[in-house]
Structure 1
Amino acid sequence: MANGVFGRAAGALIVGMLLSMAVAMPAFAQTVRVTVNGTPITDVQISQRVKLFALEGNRGGTKGATEQLIDEAVQMSEAKRLGITVSNAQVDDAFLQIARNIKLSEDKLRQMLQQGGINMDTLKDRLRAAIAWNAVTEMAVMPQVQISDLELDQKAAGQLKDYQSFDYILKEIIFVGQGSSKRTGDANRYRSRFAGCDSAVDVSMNFTDAAVIDVGRRNATQLPEAIAKELAGLNVGGISKPRVVENGVSMLAICEKTQAEDLTFIKGDLRAEQGNTALTDQVAKYLADLRKSAKIIYN
């Protein structure tokens, strides 16, 4: 499994959480509502998590907050078993990243959380658990996720359309400037004189502000669908119809065209999609198994 796939999936487990920071609340008597592997979860922790839910627009309420805290206690217990620790610096960095993601300064985010009555420990506990669980995922879950290359090949071949089954070496001929009607007319005159890639530059010398750019090798799946369909109907030495682009009018000339055997481009997307799905499923199963074996006592 490519590291990039897992990195994106693992990163999504943190970024998806709107976490917070605020001033400490006055100390008062707390009642333990749940104990998870010896770790107590109090009524104050639950009420604080409910307030955090409210800030996020999460309607999970007391039940949802309790379940999330149980999950986090289980996750932290597993992290401890695996020798995983989370430093205060990691927590601080995660908080800063959240502030940036929602385009707030750290001070503004603190103020928002303070106004919501959210305690500092609520943020720290949730952040620490999320970071620890990402580490557990990387260490214990990712190695279990396997994607069959044979299966990817079969799926990729099944998804490949006829017009996508070509590799090209292309040149772009672009007529630079505003006035799309005039530039399109110039492009069509060029097109009528085009006799293959070898003479592409020579022909362009007869036109003002015309440039020939070596695009290089492209698989049809790397091209916009409309262009891929048009090029599929042309032979080597053919040139596409003019199309208006941001800086003028463009055409693509086919210098080489071969039947594609490399499905890398489609397989890359499939691998990412299947990898993320498989990882998400495996992480959920791993946590569910941990909860089944955890000692959870409700008071």
Structure 2
Amino acid sequence: MHNAMKLKSPIPLLRRLAMIATLALAAWGTVPQAALAQGVAVLVNGDPVTDFDIEQRTKLATLSGQKGTSRQQIIEELINEKLKIQLLKRYAIPDVDKDVDNAMTNMARRMRQNSREFADQLAKQGVQIDTLKSRMKADIIWQQLVRGRFQASFQFNDKDIQQRLQAKHPEGIPATAAYDYTLRPILFIVPRGSPSEAFAARAKEAEALRAEFQNCDEGISRARGMRFVAVRPPVVKNSAELPAALRDILTKTEIGRLTPPETTQQGVEVYAVCSRKNSENTPEKKEIRDQLYNETFERLSKEFLKEIRSQAMIEYKQAKP
């Protein structure tokens, strides 16, 4: 009886504490010297978030219009970003870096710049291009993982859409026209670096073709015979998926005619409207489907992020404010 009531030896507990301390020291030992020189704010599974990272992300947030973001909010964003990128060690996602480069190129193009010019513009604002790339990489990884892991949750049927429509219009759902358009893009090519006069000249050629274009069969053949004109394969676009301005243009364009010329980076482009068929996918249904997707993604994203944070070793090296 006396032996049974003796306290257990503290040695196993001390061993466990020693092991934890050893692991923590090992993680600290793997931190790059450059990171130590910058000042480490947090370790995320041994991966450092430095004061420089925080400074960079703060500048990027300001450029993005996120004013008033606290240092701790930035730190938590960076912790989440590290965790998302670290998921590449557990899940195989092909061509992530290529997707990041493509997204960066598209972002630069929207600002009428190439990738180098865009990076230089960011640098002038004190933001390194790798800061933006890291955030984009985390977002791309996260989007793919959440969609793949919870794929069935993003399947919305007609009943889901109708319920939202009825709740929005209790007095009755209004009739809205929607169409599937078959379009033929026609590009009047302008070499890169050409002056504005070259674009203006090609726009005149496009307008001349537009005046003569009466149907797709004959008009497409005529366009193919023109110099430095590319006629692309047919594309089918639903009116619900188009911006309102383009939807309005297509509505006003007769079947077999061309849309007004539009200047692009490659030249001057018009679209031949070859057919228009009624569709059940109205813009309002598309809007509701997008709402359902965003609500579902946000809910599942929070749950998944909470899960991976609970499994992570997050060690704050600086006191929280």
1:66 matches 2:75: yes
Aligned equivalents of 2:133, 2:149: Cα separation in 1: 24
Q: Deviations over 1:74-98 (max 9, x none)?
A: 1112343122255433222111111
In structure 1, stretches of 5+ residues that fail to align are: 1-25, 168-244, 248-261
In 2, distance between residues paired with 1:38 and 1:166? 56
Match of 1:124 in 2: 133
In structure 2, which of residues 17, 29, 38 is the aligned counterpart of residue 30 of structure 1? Answer: 38
1:277 corresponds to which letter in structure 2? E
Task: Give the number of aligned pairs.
Answer: 184
Contact 1:99–1:105 under 8 Å retained in 2: yes
1:29 is paired with a residue whose SS is helix
Q: Structure 1: how far apart are the matches of 2:39 and 2:310? A: 25
Q: 2:288 aligns with which of 240, 253, 270?
A: 270
Cα deviation 1:59-108 (Å, max 9, x = unaligned): 32422321111111111123431222554332221111111233433333
Q: Match of 2:311? A: 293
Do structure 1's residue 283 and structure 2's residue 306 form an aligned pair?
Answer: no
The aligned counterpart of 2:60 is: 52
Distance 1:28 1:279, change over 3 A: closer
Match of 1:81 in 2: 90
User: Which 5+ residue runs of structure 2 have no aligned equivalent?
Assistant: 1-33, 178-250, 254-278
Bigger mean CA offset, 267-276 vs 123-132: 267-276
Retained in 2: the 8 A contact 1:156–1:263? no
Letter in 2 for 1:53: A
Do the aligned partners of residues 164 and 129 (structure 1) sit closer, same or farther apart at CA in structure 2, a change above 3 Å counting? Answer: closer
Which structure 2 residues correspond to residues 1-299 of structure 1 after superposition, within 5 A?
Answer: 29-59=37-67, 60-147=69-156, 149-157=158-166, 159=169, 161-162=171-172, 164=174, 265=282, 268-299=286-317
Q: Cα distance 1:139–1:111, how it changes in 2: closer, same or farther (>3 A)?
A: same
Shift of 1:275: 2.4
1:175-209: CA deviation from partner (whole Å, max 9, x where unpaired): xxxxxxxxxxxxxxxxxxxxxxxxxxxxxxxxxxx
Does the aligned pair in 1 maintain the 2:166–2:173 contact within 8 Å? no
Q: Report the Cα distance in structure 2 between the residues aligned to 1:141 and 1:163, rounded to whole angstroms.
A: 31
Residues 61 and 96 from structure 1, CA distance in 2 versus in 1: closer, same or farther, beyond 3 angstroms? farther
Supply the distance in 2 between the matched residues of 1:295 and 1:40 (Cα, whole angstroms).
Answer: 12
- Are the aligned partners of 1:36 and 1:74 in contact in 2 as well (CA < 8 Å)? yes
Q: Which has the higher contact order (CA 8 A, sep 6+)?
A: 1
Name the amino acid aligned to 2:291.
Answer: E
CA RMSD of aligned residues (A): 3.6
Match of 1:202 in 2: none
What's the offset of the Cα at 1:55?
2.3
Alpha-carbon distance in structure 2 between the residues aligned to 1:162 and 1:122: 50
Q: Deviations over 1:27-66 (max 9, x none)?
A: 9922221111222211221112122223223232422321
Distance 1:287 1:102, change over 3 A: farther
Instruction: Please tell me the residue identity of whatever aligns with 2:40.
Output: V
1:84–1:157: structure 2 CA closer, same or farther, 3 Å change rule? same
TM-score (norm 1): 0.51
Which residue pairs with 1:255 in the alignment? none
Which residue of structure 2 aligns with residue 205 of structure 1? Answer: none
1:126 is displaced (CA, Å) by 1.9
CA distance in 1, matches of 2:51, 2:173: 62
Instruction: List structure 1 runs of 4+ shifted beyond 6 angstroms.
Output: none
- Return closer, same or farther for 1:161/1:109 CA change in 2, 3 Å cut-off: same
Question: Using the alignment, how far apart are the partners of 1:274 and 1:295 within structure 2?
Answer: 34
Q: Measure, in 2, the Cα distance between the counterparts of 1:267 and 1:124.
A: 34
Instruction: State TM-score, norm by structure 2.
Output: 0.48
